[in-house]
Structure 1
Amino acid sequence: MTLAERLSAALGQPRGELLTGDLNGDATMPAEGWRAAAVLIAITDRPEPGVLLTERTESLRTHAGQIAFPGGAIDPGDADAPAAALREAWEEIALPPAATSVVATLDPYHTVTGFAVTPVLAVVPPDLPLVPAPGEVAAIFEVPLAFLLDPAHLATGSRWHDGRERHYYELVFGGRRIWGATAAMIVNLSRRLTWH
């Protein structure tokens, strides 16, 4: 059975409540409506699969220095969320769309910045010659899938945002802090994926 087949077979009904968005699931829809976005949860096809993540540069206007999946807004020319996620992964880390096998689109997540983000689960070959986009991506790294799915590595935190206390999940791997929307989408994946 291929890794893509294993992942597809392991996806099921959520065990526990899924996280729907920032601000404890109560992110307010912008007046102009949610802006559609997609991210790629790229799983490397190796005996111990890993998940590709990026560290954003410190010079970015929003989410500077944060850990994120490759992704961004869905453009008018994108056929759907998977097409957008693949385009963004190519632009951000030079991940070839032809080398990517899409497994499924997952549950949308709403951010306080006004995006409705669709995570796209996919499998990629290991050790591709990925290249960070200058000015956007400071680093590309891989975290073992088993580490991300293990609830023992999850912690919770809170901070104030626009006069409201926001609760969030976070994980630390290799000195890097994964939190906010990225951690929430990892939590949702862990609640849908039965993985051994």
Structure 2
Amino acid sequence: MGIIARNFKENIYSTFVVTCAYVWVCLIKALGESHAREHFRFAVDCRALFEPALPITYFGNCVLSCFNSATKSDLVGEDGIAGAAEVIRNGIQGMKDDDGLLKRAANYFASIQSAGSERICTVAGSPHLKVYDTDFGWGKPKKSEVVSIRDARTISFAERGDGQVGVGVEVGLALKESEMDVFASIFADTIKFLS
């Protein structure tokens, strides 16, 4: 696990990558279903990935799903979080390759179908969406929840809601009470182990 800490400090892994890897591995362990492979999917803003890049003011659909896979045994092993972080980071880097973006777009549905009945964990949201800066006239929200994560394979992800910019993120899960108890225990025990 020292590899993750060192690489995070050296900016090799982003907050997004480390947080997603940590939660993904804890979730896999908590749910305990037997799948040979696990899959992880999240949306990527692709405007900057085109050559030339689309302007930040571009108004249209330029979001693509980044679909990543790993064997369950690699993810629940001793270096599972480091392995998950590497899988997610490599997926992001693959989208920056010269033809990676277009290949992923062309093969997206085939990659989803290849997962079959195996578990696909999905991320809803991003700290970059700045949900806590939204004001529709009655003030900024005190708490934001993504209700579509009612599925046990979806993680919500947002910036920290207490106004401290750049320090921490919010992660949400919707699990059965027994699953949440197991997840919380694994999450806390792993944090203690890493400290």
Q: What range describes the TM-score normalised by the shorter chain of this pair?
A: under 0.3
Structure with the larger RCO, 1 or 2 (CA within 8 Å, 6+ apart): 1
Is the strand fraction higher in 1 or 2? 1
The normalised TM-score by structure 2 is: 0.27
Structure with the bigger percentage of helix: 2
